[in-house]
Amino acid sequence: MKVPPPLVRTLAVTPLAFVGSLTVTLLSPVIHLLLGIADLIDRRNWRFTRIGGLGVAFSVVELFGLVMAFILWVASGFGLWMRTGPVQRAHSWVLRTWLELITRALRTFIGFEFEFPRQTPVPGPVLVLCRHAGPGDSLLVAHSVMRDHRRKLRMLGTTKLLWDPFFNHIARRLPFHFCEQNPKDSQMELAAVSRAAATIEADGAMIIFPEGGNYTPSRHHAAIDRLEARGQHARAKRARHMRHVLPPRTGGTIEALRAAQEASVAFVAHVGLDDLLTLRDLWQRVPIRRTVRATYWHVGRDERPTGHTDLVDWLYGQWEKVDDWIETNSAEVFGT
């Protein structure tokens, strides 16, 4: 579904979300009581309490986020000083807190742990290229980048994220960029990606999801078909051997790599949420008693190629490395 224009999101979607979140928050004791009664009848791992409780938690966090977004808008002189350093830092703090609350809710109600390593800090800006699979994985990675690695966050994401009213307001005030998966004006989108990547702060990180969406078998087949239709047979052949990831979409990713000349690159792989493709999967499997494991490795700014063809080949090679790591660690995480 196409995301409505900013004015509609602000004047229609946001008020509806605020009223809905406030109502759920005020009625949360009654809702939890009803969910508990349903679970006593259902007798299956308290799944009504877990999934319903997660929805209540999201509503409470959304209410907090919307109230803070409004306070920050007023404090910024109704947007007049929005781009000043103190206001930007305040928005980053609110986003970090929102992510912290969301990730705590995911862990508490779904029942998994998230293991993300900490390595020796790398100086300078970083482009973070992350796989996409499972519910909330982008939020988990963004949370770790901001909290554990103390980085100023910017993100290249799809416009679907703007359906969330809090994210719509906060992220549009920060140096994030949202684009359509298949934009009408690709050159304009690439120029925007280039500007965002070229201006990453020395203590900043820009997260990109090269696959363009969560991995599913049907999307994997569709991506291969698209490569074949474009005559990119060598890439299609390599994509067929990727068992757990979609082939990277090279347009925006390569543009960001070429623009961020001073940035190192971190590749992030994770495993543990892969089998949760739909809400039905989540409903049937909760609680998820496993540790979602992640890893990452850095490539220095002088270690990556510069030519377009070489960059594409290098990116595919790194993505094959991501796929291999997932294959190696899947058995231990899933217990198979």
pLDDT tens digits along 278-302:
888 889 889 988 888 999 999 998 9
pLDDT of residue 180: 76
Asked if the peptide bond before residue 287 counts as cis, ω within 30 degrees of 0, the response is yes
What are the beta bridge partners of residue 158? Answer: 179
- Summarised one tens digit per residue, pLDDT across range 47-64 is 999 999 999 999 999 999
Residue 86: is its pLDDT beyond 90?
yes
Q: How far apart are CA 222 and CA 46, in angstroms?
A: 37
- pLDDT at position 30, please? 97
What's the rounded Cα separation, in Å, for the pair 143 and 2? 27
- Which tokens is 11 given? 């004047």
Most confident of 17-21, 134-138, 196-200, 250-254: 17-21
β-partners of residue 291 are 113
Q: Over 70: is that where the pLDDT of 336 sits?
A: no
